[in-house]
Amino acid sequence: MIVGVLRESFPHERRVALIPTLVTTLVTMSAEVLVEAGAGAAAGFPDAEYEAKGARVVARSDVFSRADVILMVRTPGANPTAGAKDTTALRDGQILIGLSEPLGAHNATKEVAARGASLFAMELMPRITRAQSMDALSSMAMVTGYKAALLAATELPRMFPMMMTAAGTVAPSRVFVIGAGVAGLQAIASSRRLGAKVEAYDVRPAVKEQVESLGARFVELPIENAGAEDKGGYAKAQDEAFYQKQRALLARTVAASDVVITTASVPGKRAPVLIPADAVAGMAPGSVIIDLAADRGGNCELTKPDEIVIARGVTILGPTNLPSTVPYHASQLYAKNITTFLLHLVKDGAVQFNLEDEITRETLVTHKGEVVHPRVRELMDLAPASAGRAS
């Protein structure tokens, strides 16, 4: 089996899908590893380190023409403009593994299917214990939450910790985290480590205990949210009346906070708007909002993806790719997730399309010229695929 690794082409993307230490793992299972020249450079992994571990450094076209399996951070679905060229380079039967926006990037998915390539989307990894080491969304969300706390601390004209000095006492900053999933919990932990006073809220009542275990206060809102969680542990979409009530109830805590970090999202849907413009107006000048749902439409009405918006003295940031700003460790974690996944798929030296296996079934999006994933097909308005969709 030949495994190829490409240099990422998405603008400003600095991560790489495989790091040199994991080349050894693949070589040990008798795979040949081809790495595009410069693939790891932006993440701090020079070509020579890949070669030292047994990989061959080659041109991009060689990866496409020779690899049986291509590992990427962003496959064409998650790389809308620059990725289009990659789609046309794919071969029939080639296997592509990476992030691919499977619930939204329908055209890219169709085009990959039309090339005859089999696409495994890392975003669709089931959230089961067995797949935890392959869960790239969690690893990347962790990096995102950490970096969001740092960004907030640098943007804020105050310090996070309380300080008692001869020149007087500095009160701790108040951080409010909305959405206490993986990114939110890490934002809470990192803000706490920096000494801030942290509050958090999530629509899923189950996270209260996790928030409190990190030393933050859980903000309870008097709204009915018993059916807030689906069986995969994700939040369910609510109706507009619910969000309206939420916005009104959150406004008071938002106004009292120096920093608001929002991470609220619902898979496959636009992120709920939880901070309208009038709630921003209620915050003190100098306050900071870090909107981590910017790439899903934003939790704050005024967010502009990857821009700095200043509204009534409040700074609003909507970074869409924070893992890429910590490329060394983000690549290390992602590479471990994707390699573990590949090892899971391979038996007798080749990738098996065993649909009895939940991990394989849930992540396989295209195969043998077709979009095969039932949920993706439904979102694309395609009729259900016939039974026994892969072999």
Query: Shortest distance, CB of residue 41 to ligand NAD, whole angstroms?
Result: 30
User: Is the Cβ of residue 157 or residue 232 nearer to ligand NAD in the bound state?
Assistant: 232
Cβ atoms of 285 and 310 closer than 8 Å? no
Nearest CB to ligand NAD, comparing residues 40 and 184: 184
Toward ligand NAD, which CB reaches closer, 188 or 264? 264
Q: Which residue is nearest to ligand NAD (CB)?
A: 181
In angstroms, what is the minimal distance from the CB of 27 to ligand NAD?
A: 29
How buried is residue 88: exposed, middle or buried, by Cβ count under 10 Å (0-12/13-18/19+)?
exposed
Of 9 and 133, which has the nearer Cβ to ligand NAD?
133
Q: Is 127 a catalytic residue?
A: yes
The Cα 277–Cα 302 span in angstroms is 6
CA–CA separation, 309 vs 288, rounded Å? 10
Radius of gyration of the chain (CA): 22
* Cβ nearer to ligand NAD, comparing 33 with 289: 289
Residues that bind ligand NAD (CB under 6 A): 127-128, 132, 135, 137-138, 141, 178-184, 201-204, 233-235, 246, 263-267, 272, 274
Which of 66, 158, 234, 295 does the annotation list as catalytic?
Answer: 234
Least distance in Å: CB of 173 to ligand NAD?
21
Sign of CA dihedral 233, 234, 235, 236: negative
Q: Looking at 135, 202, 258, 291, which residue is catalytic?
A: 135
Tell me whether residue 86 or residue 123 sits nearer to ligand NAD (CB atom): 123
The one-letter code for the residue type at 153 is: A
Residue 132 is among the residues annotated as catalytic for this protein: yes
Per the annotation, the verdict on 138 as an active-site residue is yes
Catalytic residue among 127, 204, 217, 375: 127
Q: Hey, which residues are catalytic here?
A: 127, 132, 135, 138, 234
